[in-house]
């Protein structure tokens, strides 16, 4: 199942896949940008810390945490 997280955009909501988020950038305490795989940038109307918390919670609940491979 695809793990989507709702992120408050400047006009409405965007739903992003947790495993496709590359970085989060903040230039304002109340706004941030989410950078996705493929070069897509999503402006958000939420603080970066709130977006990060949502992504971490969704990642843990779906079991998509980074795991080391054992050979």
Residue 69 lies in a domain: no
pTM over 0.85: no
Residue 62, judged by CB atoms within 10 A of its CB (0-12, 13-18, 19+), counts as: middle
Query: Tens digit of pLDDT for each residue in 46-60?
Result: 999 999 999 999 988
Examine residue 51 and state whether it is found in any structural domain, yes or no.
yes
Q: How many CA atoms lie within 13 A of 30 on its CB side?
A: 2
H runs (alpha helix) in 2-68: 48-62
Output 37 or 69, whichever has higher pLDDT.
37
71 assigned to some structural domain:
no
Residue 63's pLDDT is what? 65
Question: Would 68 be classed as within a structural domain?
Answer: no
Q: Is residue 67 situated within a structural domain?
A: no
Boundaries of domain holding 49 = 4-62
Asked, for residue 57, whether it belongs to a domain, the answer is: yes
Q: Does position 61 have pLDDT exceeding 90, yes or no? A: no
Count: domains in the chain:
1
For residue 36, tell me if it sits in a domain: yes
Residue-wise pLDDT for 15-47, tens only, equals 999 999 999 999 899 999 999 999 999 999 999
């Amino acid at each position: 199942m695809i793990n989507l997280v709702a992120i408050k955009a400047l006009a409405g909501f965007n739903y992003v896949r947790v495993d496709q988020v590359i970085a989060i950038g903040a230039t304002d305490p109340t706004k941030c940008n989410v950078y996705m795989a493929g070069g897509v940038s999503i402006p958000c109307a939420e603080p970066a810390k709130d977006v990060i918390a949502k992504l971490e919670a969704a990642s843990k609940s779906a079991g998509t945490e980074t795991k080391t491979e054992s050979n």
